[in-house]
Structure 1
Amino acid sequence: MSSVSVREFSYNPSAMFNRVEQGETIEVTRHGKVIAVLLPGSAGLGRYSPLVAKGLIRLKATTTADLDRMPSYDVPADVSPLDLLLEARAEDDR
């Protein structure tokens, strides 16, 4: 994941969008604080986009190919995905 300042972004936003279109994720910062994250528009992100938008998770993958390799879980509507993940991690530690 790359990081650019608001100033750098404002100089050439089309170049930033081109990088994102190529699969790169870019954090936009102001005074060192992340204020936006540009994510590639991809079907691989569909499941995670709402969580990223709410700030509940941060993706560290840099390409859509990395995101496509992330596991996918079938989660019933009445179950918390976080609870399932923590349960799976607990089972792995046993």
Structure 2
Amino acid sequence: MSQVSVREFSYNPSSMFARVEQGETIQVTRHGKIIAVLLPGASGLGRYAPLVARGVLRLKATTTGDLDRIPRYGVPADVSPLDLLLSDREEDDR
């Protein structure tokens, strides 16, 4: 995942979008604080985009191919995906 400043982004937004189209995730910062995350629109990433946008999930992957290796969980409608993930992590720690 790359970081660029608002100023760098504003100089050439087309090149930033081209990088995202190639699968790169870019964080846009202002004074060192992340204010936006540009995510590829690929189907593998699409299901994580809302969690990334809300700050619940931080991606370390640099391509959508990396995201395909993230495990998939079947989540019932009445269960929080985050609670399910945390429960799974607790089991791994035992």
Which category of TM-score, normalised to the shorter sequence, fits these structures? over 0.9
Alignment RMSD (CA, Å): 0.9
What residue number does 2:53 align with? Answer: 53
1:20 is paired with a residue of what secondary structure?
helix
Matches within 5 A, 1:19-34: 19-34=19-34
Equivalent pairs counted in the alignment come to 94
Alignment of 1:64 with 2:64, yes or no, is yes
Q: 1:27-57, CA deviations, whole angstroms, 9 ceiling, x for partnerless residues? A: 0011111110001111011221111111211
Question: How far apart, CA to CA, are the structure 2 residues paired with 1:47 and 1:62?
Answer: 16
Normalising by structure 1, what TM-score?
A: 0.94
1:3 is paired with a residue of what secondary structure?
strand
Normalising by structure 2, what TM-score?
A: 0.94
Question: How far apart, CA to CA, are the structure 1 residues paired with 2:90 and 2:55?
Answer: 24
Structure 2 gaps, min length 5:
none
Matches within 5 A, 1:68-79: 68-79=68-79
Question: How far apart, CA to CA, are the structure 2 residues paired with 1:50 and 1:60?
Answer: 16
Question: How far apart, CA to CA, are the structure 1 residues paired with 2:7 and 2:91?
Answer: 46
Question: How far apart, CA to CA, are the structure 2 residues paired with 1:20 and 1:71?
Answer: 23
Output the amino acid matched with 2:20: V
Q: Percent identity?
A: 81
Alignment of 1:14 with 2:14, yes or no, is yes
